[in-house]
Amino acid sequence: MKVEIWSDVMCPFCYIGKRHFEQALEKLPFKKEIEIDWKSFQLNPEYQNTNNETVYDYLSRSKGMPIEQAKQMTRQVADMAANAGLTLDFDTSIPANTFNAHRLIHLAAKHDLQDLAEEKLFEAHFLKGRNIGENDVLIDLAVEMGLDKDEVTAVLNGNEFAEAVRYDIYESQNLGIRGVPYFVMDRKYGISGAQPVQAFTDALTQSFNEWKAAQPKTILTSLNNNNDAVCDENGCEI
């Protein structure tokens, strides 16, 4: 069963939601039958950090709040993240335009490294204070995850996967998704936000059971009249 996850790698709730989703999935007996497809979403597609803004500057300006209120808000988010086993360092996080980061994720998907790319980008932004809006940083991260440096450089210096990113965003608009993270299960059910682990467990279980029940059953018609010369759990007979 496919689960599509719309996310932006500058969104702390997307990182927390990712971890809660993973913790839920790990407990489920059908986890190997779940296919995960990360989808691009940009919270602020026009943003460019040209003035060395901090996260607190960005929140203060964009939300019209005092710096101290912005710091208090991020402390609350950091506490929520800690409960999910994550350490978020908002003091060093650098606000950035994430369009090229999303293009990198699409490239990583081509090499079956999409989930690793998401994790590396979240970690770089929230834990290591790296500017994921800079191509040099993205190239370093890509090499760390095992991608070819020349291929990554060529992609980031060109326009490859730009339309894929835009199409993901177009899809989200058609589905009525206005915020992230947003988890779509079998294109039938949606769950928004960094929900508790149990909420993901329940949603995955319900979606999977319905998906499994809808799968066509294959029943074979035997063309021979006996079972001579076969082996089964009781051994082999001739």
Q: Tell me if 90 sits within 8 A of 78, measured CB to CB.
A: yes
CA–CA distance from 150 to each of 143, 155, 172 (Å)?
10, 9, 32
Q: Tell me if 37 sits within 8 A of 4, measured CB to CB.
A: yes
pLDDT digits (tens, 9 = 90+) for 196-238: 999 999 999 999 999 999 988 877 777 776 666 777 777 776 6
Per-chain mean pLDDT for the chain: 95
| Single-letter amino acid, residue 77 | V
pLDDT at 187: 96
Q: Tell me if 230 sits within 8 A of 236, measured CB to CB.
A: yes
pLDDT digits (tens, 9 = 90+) for 74-97: 999 999 999 999 999 999 999 999
The span from the first CA to the last CA of the chain, in angstroms, equals 41
pLDDT at 146: 97
Question: What's the whole-number mean pLDDT along residues 169-186?
Answer: 97
The three-state DSSP-derived secondary structure of 114-140 is HHHHHHHHHHHHHCCCCCCCCHHHHHH
Q: What is the CA radius of gyration of the chain?
A: 22
Taking each helix axis from N to C end, the angle separating 99-110 and 135-144, rounded to the nearest 10 degrees, works out to 30
CA–CA distance from 28 to each of 16, 187, 188, 193, 233 (Å)?
19, 20, 20, 21, 28
- Does residue 18 have a pLDDT over 90? yes
Range 164-170, long-range pairs (CB < 8 A, 24+ positions): 164/40, 164/103, 164/106, 165/40, 165/99, 165/102, 165/103, 165/106, 168/6, 168/39, 168/40, 168/41, 168/102, 169/40, 169/41, 169/42, 169/45
Place of tokens 């089964």: 232
- Does residue 182 have a pLDDT over 70? yes
Which residue stretches of 65-113 are H helix? 67-83, 99-110
pLDDT at 238: 62
Q: 177 or 229: which carries more pLDDT confidence?
A: 177
- Of 92, 10, 3, the closest CA to residue 47 belongs to 10
- Of 173, 174, 184, 167, the closest CA to residue 40 belongs to 167
Which pLDDT band, with edges at 50, 70 and 90, does 43 fall under? very high
Tell me the CB-side half-sphere exposure of residue 25, using CA atoms within 13 A: 19
Which pLDDT band, with edges at 50, 70 and 90, does 136 fall under? very high
pLDDT at 237: 67
Q: Is the pTM of this model over 0.75?
A: yes
pLDDT at 234: 74
* Residue 50 CB neighbours (<10 A): 6
CA 140 to chain centre: 20
